[in-house]
């Protein structure tokens, strides 16, 4: 059904007060658009009437915008560019541009330039309906008085009221019942034609064009969003916390996104027990900043911009990993909204099976709205960034593997490299020593120095907060990732000559653009594997590679994978649905699938790694 509006003819309107009254009457009557038209625009006649030369439509439209709050304001596009710039009665183009830009800034998306059709003055309901049926999104009727406005508003009493104007609705995606968005989410929802869309469409790493982004601000609103999602099972569904997902599809094309970024509160629950509650939308940079004043830290990943929601449902292999374990090892309880909208708390004694599943496979079981963590006392730490060059990549990998294996558990050092150039590899090590003693820090790092020629080094005594704080803040303009990441991940039980040989060959082949080894062991291995769905606790290393194309990376990855056991889903983007079979040992996968059938039998949460076969949208 079309929207309905009025045209006010400047030639027939005697004062600014009268114009405002007409616009306000239209807004009160629930009409959608007031078009400000000169004689040559909408009211007929090719030439501007002399008496209109002094009345600038932009000024009038600004006047109308200031007098109203909701109704859209139309200024015909013919007003944007005059037909004959040499005509002295036509305003100077640059001045018009400035006026248009200023009004667009002030009135935002209320300002439109086209998309309506003008009905004859005095048009009746049949005439309006017939114009609407011919595909016009907005029908406007010329009016000269408040009484006429009332008459227009009464023409289509059965007209459903849309929350968006025609120009926005024109960009809607098929298959989404936009008019049925739950009332609690209508105000904050963003759809493709909305001004805020650019800031929410993509993620840190992926470009996307979702058909609707719902932005709940409470667990109850998450339940509302999931009710809407259940009615849209035919569409992809992305769950987004802070938008740094590799494997997780927290954006999509034409589907729904439930963005819980607004749930970002961080609060201390119990100072003595070091218990904190954190919302999924907080970033690890924010968490680190909130904990530091207490002398605490919570090991997360290596980048402070990553969100709590995605990482704390998957694992969290980070720079304090060997000293303090995975992020999920600090989890004491979660509040989660299940696929059917039920809000429950899971902990070691409340729904313990769900609590087990959330710690490693959380994305498949619901939307976590609160995480409760027991955090660690962490003073200043040693933070090292070292760059090496070497012509013997294989030997360097072996030396790193040995150094990290021998390192005391207070030391977690990661390695990154790429394809060698003219036979020479540049290798970066970055790592953390959980000690405030400079001599200890240097002693811990010394064995790593043998991996090549040290080209650059920076070792500082600093806080975990400062390390996380180097991540860029995402401003109001949001993420602007593009394309699809191509990544593979695996757990390596231990560095061996055979693996080092395969990895060096793959890197020399140029098909791996980025290659990383993350040190595990230490406190990560202290937790019995059956305690959490994240099961691969004994490997010494986690390996990640990024490439450009799936086929290309698979060719390079397969020989290396023969040496690995399991994979970390957070870094794997393979489209192969069987990949999930590698992510969990068979018994764990069987248990996860049983729980999935209990908690999400229809597979609503399937766009990360689908536990149930054939489930990915
Ligand atoms: C630059 C960078 C550095 C990284 N470093 C590390 C690291 O050091 N260690 C590590 O372990 N990982 C690391 N990761 C991987 C990261 O942990 C995952 O990509 C994680 O999913 C990102 O979380 P997010 O909330 O920002 O992502 P989002 O894109 O918002 O979410 C990713 C997926 O997580 C799931 N999800 C999100 N929120 C929720 C929720 N509230 N409830 C249930 N499921 C949810 C959804 O399936 C979603 O698709 C890194 C990623 C990047 C981009």
Query: CB of 573 closer than 6 A to ligand 1?
Result: no
At 562-600, the pLDDT tens digits run 999 999 999 999 988 889 999 999 999 999 999 999 999
Residue 287 pLDDT exceeds 70: yes
Answer whether 0.85 is exceeded by the pTM: no
pLDDT of residue 45: 43
157 or 315: which carries more pLDDT confidence?
315
pLDDT of residue 85: 62
- Are residues 163 and 269 both part of a single domain? no
pLDDT confidence band for 456 (50 / 70 / 90)? very high
Query: CB of 205 closer than 6 A to ligand 1?
Result: yes
- Asked if residue 269 lies in contact with residue 335, where contact means CB atoms within 8 angstroms, the answer is no
Query: CB of 281 closer than 6 A to ligand 1?
Result: no
- For residues 93-101, give the mean pLDDT: 78
pLDDT of residue 575: 85
What is the DSSP code string of 124-159?
-HHHHHHHHHTT-SEEEEEESSHHHHHHHHTS-TTP
- For residues 326-343, give the mean pLDDT: 98
At 133-159, the pLDDT tens digits run 776 678 899 998 889 999 998 887 776
> Which residues, in sequence order, are CB contacts of 476 under 8 Å at separation 6+?
199
Pocket test for ligand 1, best of 203, 252, 311 (most atoms within 8 A of CB): 311
Euclidean distance between CA atoms 133 and 401, whole angstroms: 71
259 or 196: which carries more pLDDT confidence?
259
| CATH number of the domain encompassing residue 7 | 3.20.20
> Which helix (H) or strand (E) element contains residue 413?
strand 411-417
For residue 428 the two structure tokens come to 């970066």
- For residues 22-51, give the mean pLDDT: 69
Query: CB of 321 closer than 6 A to ligand 1?
Result: no
561 Cα: distance to centroid of ligand 1 (angstroms): 23
**CA 199, chain centre distance (Å):** 9
Residue 613 pLDDT exceeds 80: no
- For residues 465-487, give the mean pLDDT: 90
Residue nearest to atom 1 of ligand 1 (CA): 303
- Are residues 213 and 317 both part of a single domain? yes
594 or 88: which carries more pLDDT confidence?
594
Query: CB of 382 closer than 6 A to ligand 1?
Result: no
Tell me which of 144, 168, 192 is where a domain ends.
168
Q: Following CA atoms 121, 127, 128, 129 in sequence, which dihedral angle do they give, to the nearest 10 degrees?
A: 180
Residue 471 falls within a domain, yes or no?
no
Residue 78 pLDDT exceeds 70: no
552 Cα: distance to centroid of ligand 1 (angstroms): 25
Pocket test for ligand 1, best of 206, 214, 237, 250 (most atoms within 8 A of CB): 250
Q: Which atom of ligand 1 is nearest to the CA of 319?
A: 8
pLDDT of residue 91: 65
- Are residues 318 and 415 both part of a single domain? no
- For residues 114-141, give the mean pLDDT: 84
Residue 371 falls within a domain, yes or no?
yes
Tell me which of 168, 190, 222 is where a domain ends.
168
pLDDT of residue 362: 96
Q: Which atom of ligand 1 is nearest to the CA of 367?
A: 42
492 Cα: distance to centroid of ligand 1 (angstroms): 22
Residue 43 pLDDT exceeds 50: no
Residue 258 pLDDT exceeds 50: yes
Residue 261 pLDDT exceeds 60: yes
Q: Which atom of ligand 1 is nearest to the CA of 244?
A: 26
- Are residues 499 and 521 both part of a single domain? yes
Highest mean pLDDT pick, 73-77, 126-130, 175-179, 411-415 = 411-415
**CA 314, chain centre distance (Å):** 17
Residue nearest to atom 53 of ligand 1 (CA): 244
pLDDT of residue 38: 66
pLDDT of residue 50: 45
| CATH number of the domain encompassing residue 588 | 3.30.465.10
Pocket test for ligand 1, best of 205, 245, 533 (most atoms within 8 A of CB): 245
Highest mean pLDDT pick, 175-189, 374-388, 599-613 = 374-388
Q: E-assigned strands of 507-583? A: 514-519, 541-547
- For residues 250-264, give the mean pLDDT: 97
Tell me which of 168, 198, 232 is where a domain ends.
168
346 Cα: distance to centroid of ligand 1 (angstroms): 20
pLDDT of residue 48: 42
What is the DSSP code string of 188-248?
T-B-TTSTTHHHHH--SS---B-SEEE--SSHHHHHHHHHHHHTTTTS-EEEESSS--SSS
pLDDT confidence band for 161 (50 / 70 / 90)? low
- Are residues 185 and 291 both part of a single domain? yes
112 Cα: distance to centroid of ligand 1 (angstroms): 39
pLDDT confidence band for 382 (50 / 70 / 90)? very high
pLDDT, averaged across the chain: 90
Q: Which atom of ligand 1 is nearest to the CA of 203?
A: 29
- Are residues 493 and 600 both part of a single domain? no
Query: CB of 452 closer than 6 A to ligand 1?
Result: no
pLDDT of residue 89: 63
Residue 369 falls within a domain, yes or no?
yes
Query: CB of 309 closer than 6 A to ligand 1?
Result: yes
Residue 160 pLDDT exceeds 70: no
Query: CB of 547 closer than 6 A to ligand 1?
Result: no
Residue 277 falls within a domain, yes or no?
yes
- Are residues 554 and 587 both part of a single domain? no
> For 16-20, 201-205, 371-375, which range has the lowest pLDDT when averaged over its residues?
16-20
pLDDT confidence band for 236 (50 / 70 / 90)? very high
Q: Residues of the chain with pLDDT > 90: what percent?
A: 68
467 or 7: which carries more pLDDT confidence?
467
- Are residues 366 and 398 both part of a single domain? no
472 or 327: which carries more pLDDT confidence?
327
Query: CB of 435 closer than 6 A to ligand 1?
Result: no
Residue 479 falls within a domain, yes or no?
no
- Are residues 557 and 412 both part of a single domain? yes
- For residues 374-387, give the mean pLDDT: 98
Query: CB of 246 closer than 6 A to ligand 1?
Result: yes
Query: CB of 241 closer than 6 A to ligand 1?
Result: yes
| CATH number of the domain encompassing residue 528 | 3.40.462.20
- Are residues 138 and 235 both part of a single domain? no
- Asked if residue 540 lies in contact with residue 490, where contact means CB atoms within 8 angstroms, the answer is no
- For residues 81-91, give the mean pLDDT: 62
pLDDT confidence band for 58 (50 / 70 / 90)? confident
Q: Which atom of ligand 1 is nearest to the CA of 568?
A: 11
Q: Count the domains in the chain.
A: 3
- Are residues 299 and 346 both part of a single domain? yes
Where in the sequence is the domain holding 152, given as residue range(s)?
3-168
Residue nearest to atom 11 of ligand 1 (CA): 316
Residue 343 falls within a domain, yes or no?
yes
316 Cα: distance to centroid of ligand 1 (angstroms): 9
DSSP-derived secondary structure letter, 42: T
Query: 220 — phi, psi (to 5°)?
Result: -65, -40
Residue 211 pLDDT exceeds 80: yes
Give which of 42, 45, 28 is closest to 141, Cα–Cα: 42
Residue 30 falls within a domain, yes or no?
yes
Residue 42 falls within a domain, yes or no?
yes
> Which residues, in sequence order, are CB contacts of 270 under 8 Å at separation 6+?
none
Residue 331 pLDDT exceeds 90: yes
- Are residues 385 and 525 both part of a single domain? yes
Angle between helix 146-153 and helix 16-28 axes, rounded to 10 deg: 20
């Amino acid at each position: 059904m079309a929207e309905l509006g009025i045209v006010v003819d400047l030639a027939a309107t005697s004062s600014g007060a009268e114009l405002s009254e007409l616009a306000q009457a239209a807004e009160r009557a629930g009409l959608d658009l007031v078009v400000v038209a000169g004689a040559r625009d909408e009211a007929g006649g090719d030439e501007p009437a002399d008496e209109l030369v002094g009345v600038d439509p932009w000024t009038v439209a600004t006047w109308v915008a200031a007098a109203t709050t909701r109704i859209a304001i139309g200024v015909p596009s013919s007003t944007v560019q005059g037909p004959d710039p040499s005509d002295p009665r036509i305003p100077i183009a640059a001045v018009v541009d400035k006026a248009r830009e200023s009004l667009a800034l002030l009135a935002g998306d209320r300002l439109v330039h086209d998309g309506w059709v003008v009905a004859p003055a005095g048009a009746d309901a049949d005439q309006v309906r017939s114009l609407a049926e011919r595909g016009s999104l907005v029908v406007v009727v010329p009016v000269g008085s408040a009484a006429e406005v009332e008459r227009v508003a009464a023409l289509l009493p059965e007209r459903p009221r849309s929350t968006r104007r025609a120009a926005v609705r024109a960009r809607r995606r098929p298959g989404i019942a936009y008019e049925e968005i739950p009332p609690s989410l209508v105000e904050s929802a963003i759809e493709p034609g909305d001004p805020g869309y650019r800031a929410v469409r993509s993620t840190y790493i992926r470009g996307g064009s979702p058909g609707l982004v719902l932005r709940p601000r409470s667990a109850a609103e998450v339940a509302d969003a999931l009710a809407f999602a259940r009615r849209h099972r035919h569409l992809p569904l992305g769950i987004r916390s802070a938008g740094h997902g590799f494997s997780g599809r927290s954006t999509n094309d034409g589907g729904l996104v439930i963005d819980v970024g607004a749930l970002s509160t961080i609060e201390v629950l119990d100072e003595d027990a070091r218990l904190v509650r954190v919302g999924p939308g907080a970033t690890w940079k924010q968490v680190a900043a909130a904990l530091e004043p207490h002398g605490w830290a919570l090991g997360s990943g290596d980048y402070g911009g990553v969100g709590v929601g995605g990482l704390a449902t998957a694992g969290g292999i980070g720079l304090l990993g060997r000293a303090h374990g995975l992020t999920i090892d600090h989890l004491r309880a979660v509040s989660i909204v299940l696929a059917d909208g039920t809000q429950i708390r899971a902990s070691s004694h409340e729904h313990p099976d769900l609590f087990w599943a959330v710690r490693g496979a959380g994305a498949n079981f619901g939307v976590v709205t609160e995480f409760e963590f027991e955090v660690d006392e962490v003073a200043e730490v040693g933070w090292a960034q070292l760059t090496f060059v070497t012509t013997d990549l294989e030997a360097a990998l072996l030396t790193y593997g040995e150094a990290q294996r021998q390192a005391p558990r207070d030391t977690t050092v990661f390695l990154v490299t790429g394809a060698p150039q003219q036979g020479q590899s540049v290798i970066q090590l970055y790592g953390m020593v959980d000690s405030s003693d400079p001599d200890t820090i240097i002693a811990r790092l010394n064995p790593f120095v043998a991996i090549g020629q040290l080209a650059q080094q920076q070792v500082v005594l600093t806080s975990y907060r400062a390390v996380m704080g180097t991540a860029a803040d995402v401003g109001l303009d949001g993420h602007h990732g593009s394309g699809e990441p191509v990544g593979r991940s695996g757990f390596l039980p231990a560095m061996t000559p055979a693996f080092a040989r395969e990895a060096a060959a793959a890197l020399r082949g140029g098909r791996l653009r980025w290659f990383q080894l993350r040190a595990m062991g230490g406190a990560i291995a202290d937790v019995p594997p059956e305690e959490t769905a994240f099961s691969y606790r004994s490997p010494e290393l986690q390996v990640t590679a990024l490439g450009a194309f799936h086929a290309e990376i698979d060719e390079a990855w397969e020989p290396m994978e023969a040496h690995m056991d399991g994979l970390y889903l957070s870094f794997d983007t393979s489209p192969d649905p069987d990949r999930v079979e590698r992510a969990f040992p068979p018994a764990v996968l069987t248990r996860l699938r049983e729980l999935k059938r209990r908690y999400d039998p229809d597979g609503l949460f399937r766009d990360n790694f689908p536990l149930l076969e054939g489930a990915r949208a």
